[in-house]
Structure 1
Amino acid sequence: MSTKEKVLWYLGALLIVLYALVPVVWIVSLSLKSEGELSQAGNFFPTSPTFANYSEIFTGNASELFIAALRNSIITCLLATFIAVVLAMFAAYAIARLDFPGKRVVLTSALAVAVFPVITMVTPIFNLWRQIGLYDTIPGLILPYLALTLPISIWTMSAFFRQIPWDMEQAAQVDGATSWQAFRKVIVPLAAPGVFTTAIIAFFIAWNDFVFGISLTSTTRAQPVPAALSSFTGSSYFVQPTGAISAAAVIVTIPVVLLALLFQRRIVAGLTNGAVKG
């Protein structure tokens, strides 16, 4: 590329980065402002930074709601991710290795479910959960989360299984290994990067869900963080809990940002392989 083209590419990349970072910086700025500064317009950065909002969500009036919600989110998302990855691993292996009627229909259906509007599933699930006793429970959240994470997990992981040479599994079986032993000791270790990438993507999807969390829970028994943020209250009836919500949003975003920065190559590789092989 010429120097002019390089400059244009750098400028374009810089604009995209700024566009993505400005909302993040704004949330961090709000979390460091006092109630007095939050009521004043025109100040992007806090003039007197304070950690009172963080104290509010960890040791103040909002601590009981936030800490319980954070615990619920961690438990629910980890369990949903683990179940989705295990089920998707077997399903993707069957899709990649076996030739059966309707294989393309299964993959297409998985992709269709992944992009299906979540709001259309809430009402029937809500009515069913109330009848069978799963409303406001962690299992009642894990099952809907599987509807979000399992399709994309199957789609992503099947691309990795198709890349593994079939001869390696056959060689293990020739040496005396059973089909299960070949799968467990040969295929799964070779597909570990794909399994890891799928787990990260599934965790992101479950962690960021709001619709299921706000619709299928109502108390701290199972309410996740995105839903709990809408229940925050200010220090009085006339005060908006903007600072506490911003502080909680920053805390909740930190794990996602760290995972994205640490494993960005694996995430990009997983999405690219899914696009090429799918």
Structure 2
Amino acid sequence: MNTLIKLLKRLPLYLLIGLVALYALFPFYWALNTSFKSESEMFESATYLPENPTLKNYEYVFRDGTFLLALRNSAIVSSAVSILSLTVGSFAAYALGRLRFKGRTIILYIVLSMTMFPSISVLSGLYTIVREFGVFGTPLALIITYPIFTLPFTVWVLTSFFRGLPAEIEQAAIVDGATPFQTFRMILLPLTAPALVTTGLLSFVQSWNEYLFALNFTITEPSAQTVPVAIAQFSGKVARQEPIAEIMAAAMIVTIPLVILVLIFQNRIVAGLTAGAVKG
């Protein structure tokens, strides 16, 4: 009886969780469902399951050399941006989280304020910089501009994590004769693994999905475009065809690996995001 009462009390919570999950997952399910439909079935009626599932849409996407090249570009750019953000961000976070100097709180809030600027507001300035550096129309243009929005988040999360590490660990390393850099590289940095995984993965996902910069900096060079731009420029097999099913298939191809990565590292992501939330 007590078990039934407890279950009834929790029923509204379970219903709310179910509604939120349905709201979040239904667009993903509908895209997956559409990717297995033929063009005729897709426009005839809206069905929750494909009547005649087909893999032709995926075959079309994998035969598209431009899409495969864009997939490679996205992997290179996203990996490079993640590594760059973690390398620079870890040094900055160590300084802001462990060292004592005047103005570090102000600097930290300035770093945080950089995330408040919309991408379009800095686009014109970055466009000029990319032109001046001579990297316009290359993946390097994206690698040097994406840290604008991945680095502040990385610094903020890692700073909270470094602050949460016990001071005794660093003091013991100094007593044993370790230099500040050795203490950072060999002792403190390995302890920040959850935060490194979190920020690295989120930087990777953010770079993978970014569209505005990728479109403007590679618009004249299709061979340097990333997957969001390549998918947006999909054309049909015949004139005036809207390749919706093919676009959904391509979206599934680029989304499922990210979902798998998040599921694999979900525990470390939660640990990294909550790092420094409780002091003790």
* Structure 2 SS opposite 1:158: helix
Contact 1:30 1:46 in 2 (8 A): yes
Identity %: 41
Q: Name the counterpart of 1:64.
A: 65
Q: What TM-score, normalized to structure 1?
A: 0.93
Indicate which of 256, 273, 277 corresponds to 2:258.
256
Does 48-57 or 254-263 show the bigger shift? Answer: 254-263
Which residues of 2 match residues 91-110 of structure 1 at below 5 A?
Answer: 91-110=92-111
Compute the displacement of 1:274 (Å): 5.7
Give the whole-Å Cα distance in 2 for the aligned partners of 1:119 and 1:40: 39
- The corresponding residue for 1:212 is 213
Q: How does 1:260-271 map to 2 (within 5 A)?
A: 260-271=262-273
Shift of 1:56: 0.3
Once the two structures are superposed, residues 25-62 of structure 1 have per-residue CA deviations (whole angstroms, 9 ceiling, x without a partner) of: 11011111112122223333221010001000112xxx
How many corresponding residue pairs? 274
- Corresponding position of 2:140: 139
Q: Is the 8 A contact 1:68 1:220 kept in 2?
A: no
The secondary structure found in structure 2 opposite 1:238 is: coil
* Aligned residue in 2 for 1:128: 129
Provide Cα deviations, 1:196-236, integer angstroms capped at 9, x if missing partner.
Answer: 22211211211111111111112333211011111110011
Moved more, 215-224 or 26-35: 215-224
Structure 1 stretches (4+) deviating beyond 6 angstroms? none
In the other structure, the counterpart of 1:42 is 46
**Counterpart selection for 1:29 from 30, 33, 38:** 33
How far, CA to CA, are the matches of 1:56 and 1:31 in structure 2? 11
The equivalent of 1:13 in structure 2 is 17
User: For residues 116 and 75 of structure 1, what CA distance do their matches in structure 2 show?
Assistant: 26
Unaligned runs of 5+ in 2: none
3-state SS of the aligned residue for 1:199?
Answer: helix
What is the one-letter code of the residue matched to 2:49?
F
Aligned to 1:173: 174
- State how far apart, in whole Å, the 1-side matches of 2:45 and 2:145 are: 41
Q: In structure 2, do the counterparts of structure 1 residues 143 and 258 end up closer, same or farther at CA, with 3 Å as the change threshold?
A: same
Per mean C-alpha deviation after superposition, the further-off stretch among 130-139 and 46-55 is 130-139
Quote the offset at 1:256 in angstroms: 1.1
**TM-score by structure 2 length?**
0.93
| CA apart distance, 1:190 | 1.5
CA displacement 1:50-85 (0-9 Å, x = unmatched): 0001000112xxx11110000000000000000100
Displacement of 1:276 in angstroms is: 5.6
Give the distance between the partners of 1:145 and 1:129, measured in 2 at CA: 12
What code does the residue aligned with 1:221 have?
S
Contact 2:197–2:272 (8 Å) recurs in 1: no
Distance in 2 (CA, whole Å) between partners of 1:192 and 1:3 is: 38
5+ residue gaps in structure 1?
Answer: none
Describe the shift of the 1:9–1:100 C-alpha distance in structure 2 as closer, same or farther (beyond 3 A). same
Deviation of 1:129 after TM superposition, in Å, equals: 2.0
SS of the equivalent of 1:216 reads helix
Q: CA deviation at 1:269?
A: 2.2
- Which amino acid counterpart does residue 210 of structure 1 have in structure 2? Y
Structure-2 separation of matches of 1:245 and 1:33: 12
Q: Does the 8 Å contact 2:73/2:139 carry over to 1?
A: yes
CA drift at 1:240 = 0.6
Contact 1:57 1:248 in 2 (8 A): yes
Is 1:226 paired with 2:224? no
SS at match of 1:273: coil
